[in-house]
Amino acid sequence: MPRPRPPRHVADLPCPCGGGSYAACCFLPHDGKPAANPETLMRSRFSAYAQDRRAYLLHSWHPDTRPADVTPEPGLRWVRLEILGTTGGGLFDAEGTVAFRAHYTEDGRPGVMEENSRFVHHDGRWVYWGPVPSL
C-alpha cells in the first residue's frame, strides 16, 4: 500500500519535535500509522501538544491512565524537544522508556519540563503509560 502523503501545505514544514520535516517525521503517526517504537511515539506526542491535536494525545494514551481531557493551559506553547535517552521499546519488548526535556514558553516566559516516560505495547501498538516514578 502506498505511503499516505501529507497535504502540500504541510509537506515541507519542519516537525515540531525537531526530527526533520513534518512529512517525514510525525505526519504518519498523526495520520493513523502506529508508531514504530516509544521514541517515535514520544516525538509524535510532543508534536501533537505543539499542534493542539487533543484527539491524537488521548488515542496515544493507555486507557488505564488516560485523563478525560487534555485541555492546554492558556498561553502555553511547546517549542523544542530533546531526547535524553531511551530504554527497551524494541521489536520483542513489551515496554520502553524515553527520557526527554521539553522546552516551552508560557505567557512569553521560557520554561523546561523533564520526564522519563513509560510506554507499553497495548492492542498491537505503543501507547503512553505515564511518567516513571522517581526513586
DSSP 135: -
Contact between 59 and 66 (Cβ < 8 Å): no
55 within some domain: yes
3 within some domain: no
Give, in order, the Cα–Cα distances in Å from 46 to each of 8, 30, 87.
22, 11, 18
pTM comes to 0.91
Q: What is the CATH number of the domain that holds 62?
A: 3.10.450.50
Domain tally, the chain:
1
Angle at 104 between CA 99 and CA 108, to 5 degrees: 165
Compute the average pLDDT of residues 122-128.
Answer: 96
95 within some domain: yes
- The parent domain of residue 54 ranges over 8-131
Give, in order, the Cα–Cα distances in Å from 57 to each of 13, 89, 90, 116, 135.
21, 19, 22, 17, 27
pLDDT digits (tens, 9 = 90+) for 17-28: 999 999 999 999
pLDDT digits (tens, 9 = 90+) for 60-99: 999 999 999 999 999 999 999 999 999 999 989 999 999 9
